[in-house]
């Protein structure tokens, strides 16, 4: 059997779903881009998307809801300087394409007509970070229902205090194609799955919750019996731990963050501040600080969209540029920002493969992919043992950050009080308050246990949501403010 090079294969899939059914081919795309370039613009692109998604949810022992949807359309964009004109349509046709192209070119209508050399066709570079499969088809409906029922049965068998179990299974098959005015043609076939487990435990009238789950860019067979049991164990353990939790102390103290998902604090408090748009406008706490020390020695932070099968990974970003392994902070020194095409051009640097959009109905902007801190040389046990009095936070719920000031507030969903190096008891109601750039300088110990989260992250920015990954080793941060309930 002869297989095609992955980039050619993805383009063939995209054309079969997004062009051929509507009587379109590459000549129609070139015509639409030529219409936009009839007036002088810096950039222009067409973004086609086909998305098929399915979801199942279980509650009170039965699968209560199931959903299935198909969405498709095209977004047309022209950029002149800092100005963006954008139009989109769920009608993929030559007429709609040309109408959108003529609409967005008005951004530079006052400019003189441009004489532009026809671009040379460029196919995006080859890579294959995940299989281009349809995850919805990797299990039949009966097997999906049984999977959720297994979650329910395992959780209830764990402990008689388990009062309620909720589980959800989501699958998405996403095909995109980007045609740019510079001649670039790129496509991606993006599978995405996620299993979520939530358990509510009850004891003496007190009810507490625990959750777990994971996923990534692969089929549903990933969720084998061992992994399902692991998710259930984690969710039940978290709920039972919270039943024993005492009110959290408040004040300034040492905080140790566990590995993996607690990297969400890094994502929010530091990652957003390193996005190109905020820094170009000078509104980030990190603006104009390239080459300066912004963190303690040993702190190295990356944004990497090239990790195989990860939720935040992409073969190409939503502007057709290859994703990259971008070093943002190296040994405490700020090395760079993450960029989409427009902000990179305006800042005089190259795009970093971080131009992302929620769908064809949204404009791209610089967004994170998988953001994480590299490991250090301390064992997690050594780090916890170093705490005289402080908080050990192993899981987080929600949080928010002010990009301009860098100030953040996060709630710990699972945390423990530590004295003289001993974990004494779980606490609840702990919120961690700080300033991102300041917190980075307070990192005093970095664990050797770096891990990525299990594949559950979704990042919101300016009304758009995209899947992301986070990660970090165990970290000791000195002098953070903890808001508690005690």
**40 contact partners, CB below 8 Å, separation of at least 6:** 80, 108, 111, 112, 113, 114
Report the DSSP beta bridge partners of residue 56.
66, 169
**Closest Cα partner for 217 from 311, 347, 83, 303?**
311
Nearest alpha carbon to residue 129 among 72, 192, 35, 67: 192
Cα–Cα distance for residue pair 239/158, rounded to 1 Å: 12
All residues at 6 or more sequence positions from 216 whose CB lies less than 8 Å from its CB, including other chains? 130, 192, 193, 222, 309, 310, 311, 455
| Chunked mean pLDDT (size 10), the chain, 486 residues | 74 97 96 91 96 96 91 96 94 95 78 48 79 96 96 97 97 98 95 98 96 98 98 97 95 96 90 95 94 96 98 97 97 98 97 98 98 98 97 88 86 95 96 91 97 95 96 96 81
CA distance linking residue 58 with residue 378, whole number of Å: 42
- 444 burial (CB, 10 Å; 0-12 / 13-18 / 19+) is middle
Task: Identify the CA nearest to 369 among candidates 450, 458, 442.
Answer: 458
Q: At what angle do helices 225-243 and 141-158 cross, to 10 degrees?
A: 40
Strands (E) located in 81-127: 83-89, 122-123
User: Cα(111)–Cα(115) distance, rounded to whole angstroms?
Assistant: 12
Nearest CA-CA partner of 53 in 188, 177, 194, 166 = 194
Residue 291, phi then psi, degrees to nearest 5: 90, -10
pLDDT of residue 108: 63
pLDDT at 357: 98
The pLDDT of residue 7 is 85
Residue among 216, 260, 210 nearest 233 (CA): 210
Per-residue tokens: 404: 């301009």
Nearest alpha carbon to residue 454 among 240, 228, 241, 134 = 228
Q: 81 vs 37, 251, 364, 371, CA distance in Å? A: 14, 48, 15, 29
Region for residue 456 given its phi and psi (left: phi exceeds 0; alpha: psi -120 to 50; beta: otherwise): alpha
Which residue's structure tokens are 């205090």?
161
In angstroms, the CA 347 to CA 174 distance is: 31
Closest CA to 265 of 462, 452, 471: 471
Rounded to the nearest angstrom, the gap between the alpha carbon of residue 206 and the centroid of all alpha carbons in its chain is 34
CA distance 47 to 358: 12
239: tokens are 């709920």
- Separation between Cα atoms, residue 306 and residue 304, nearest integer Å: 6
Residue 329 near residue 298 (C-beta atoms within 8 A): no
172 pairs with which residues across the strands? 53, 192
Q: Are 258 and 395 in contact (CB under 8 A)?
A: yes
Sign of CA dihedral 393, 396, 398, 404: positive
Q: What does the DSSP assignment read for 155-211?
A: HHHH-TTEEEEEEEEEEEEEEEEEEETTSEEEEEEEEEEEEEEEEEEEETTEEEEEE
Distances (CA, A) of 375 to 170, 269, 330, 332, 453: 32, 19, 12, 13, 14
Residues 122 and 137: their CA atoms lie apart, in Å, by 33
Q: How far apart are CA 481 and CA 474, in angstroms?
A: 18
Contact 292, 265 (CB under 8 A): no
Sign of the alpha-carbon torsion through 465, 466, 472, 474: positive
Distance in Å from the first CA to the final CA of the chain: 67
């Amino acid at each position: 059997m002869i297989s095609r090079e992955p980039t050619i294969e993805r383009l063939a899939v995209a054309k079969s779903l997004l062009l051929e059914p509507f009587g379109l081919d590459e000549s129609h795309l070139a015509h639409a881009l030529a219409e936009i370039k009839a007036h002088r613009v810096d950039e222009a692109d067409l973004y086609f998307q086909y998305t098929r998604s399915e979801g199942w949810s279980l509650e009170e022992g039965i699968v209560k809801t199931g959903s299935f949807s198909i969405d498709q359309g095209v977004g047309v964009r022209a950029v002149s300087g800092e100005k963006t004109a954008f139009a989109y349509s769920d009608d993929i046709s030559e007429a709609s394409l040309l109408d959108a192209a003529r609409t967005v070119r008005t951004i530079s209508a006052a400019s003189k007509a441009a004489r532009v050399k026809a671009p040379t066709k460029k196919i995006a570079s080859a890579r294959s970070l995940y299989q281009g499969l349809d995850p919805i088809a990797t299990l039949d409906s009966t097997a999906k229902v049984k999977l959720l029922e297994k979650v329910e049965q395992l959780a209830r068998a764990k402990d008689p205090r388990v009062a309620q179990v909720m589980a959800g299974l989501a699958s998405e098959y996403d095909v995109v194609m980007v045609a740019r005015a510079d001649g670039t043609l790129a496509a991606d076939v993006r599978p995405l799955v996620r299993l979520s487990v939530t358990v509510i435990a009850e004891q003496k009238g007190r009810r507490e919750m625990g959750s777990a789950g994971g996923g990534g860019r692969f089929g549903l067979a990933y969720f084998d019996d061992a992994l399902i049991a692991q998710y259930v164990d984690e969710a039940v353990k978290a709920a039972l731990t919270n039943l024993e939790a005492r009110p959290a102390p408040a004040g300034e103290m040492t905080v140790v963050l566990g590995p993996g998902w607690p990297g969400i604090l890094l994502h929010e408090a530091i990652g957003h501040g390193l996005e190109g748009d905020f820094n170009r406008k000078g509104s980030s706490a990190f603006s104009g600080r390239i080459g300066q020390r912004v963190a303690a020695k040993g702190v190295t932070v990356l944004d990497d969209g090239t990790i195989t099968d990860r939720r935040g990974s992409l073969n190409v970003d939503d502007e057709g540029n290859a994703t990259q392994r971008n070093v943002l902070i190296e040994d405490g020194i700020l090395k760079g920002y993450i960029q989409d095409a427009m902000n990179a051009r305006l800042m005089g640097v190259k795009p970093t493969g971080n131009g992302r959009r929620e769908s064809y109905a949204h404009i791209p902007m610089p967004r994170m992919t998988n953001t994480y801190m590299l490991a250090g040389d301390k064992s997690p046990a050594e780090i916890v043992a170093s705490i005289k009095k402080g908080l050990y936070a192993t899981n987080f719920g929600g949080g928010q950050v002010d990009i301009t000031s860098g100030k953040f507030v996060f709630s710990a969903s699972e945390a423990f009080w530590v004295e003289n190096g001993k974990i004494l008891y779980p606490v609840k109601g702990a919120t961690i308050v700080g300033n991102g750039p300041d917190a980075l300088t307070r990192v005093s110990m970095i664990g050797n246990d770096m891990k990525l989260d299990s594949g559950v992250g979704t990042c919101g920015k300016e009304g758009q949501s995209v899947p992301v990954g986070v990660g970090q080793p165990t970290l000791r941060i000195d002098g953070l403010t903890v808001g508690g309930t005690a």
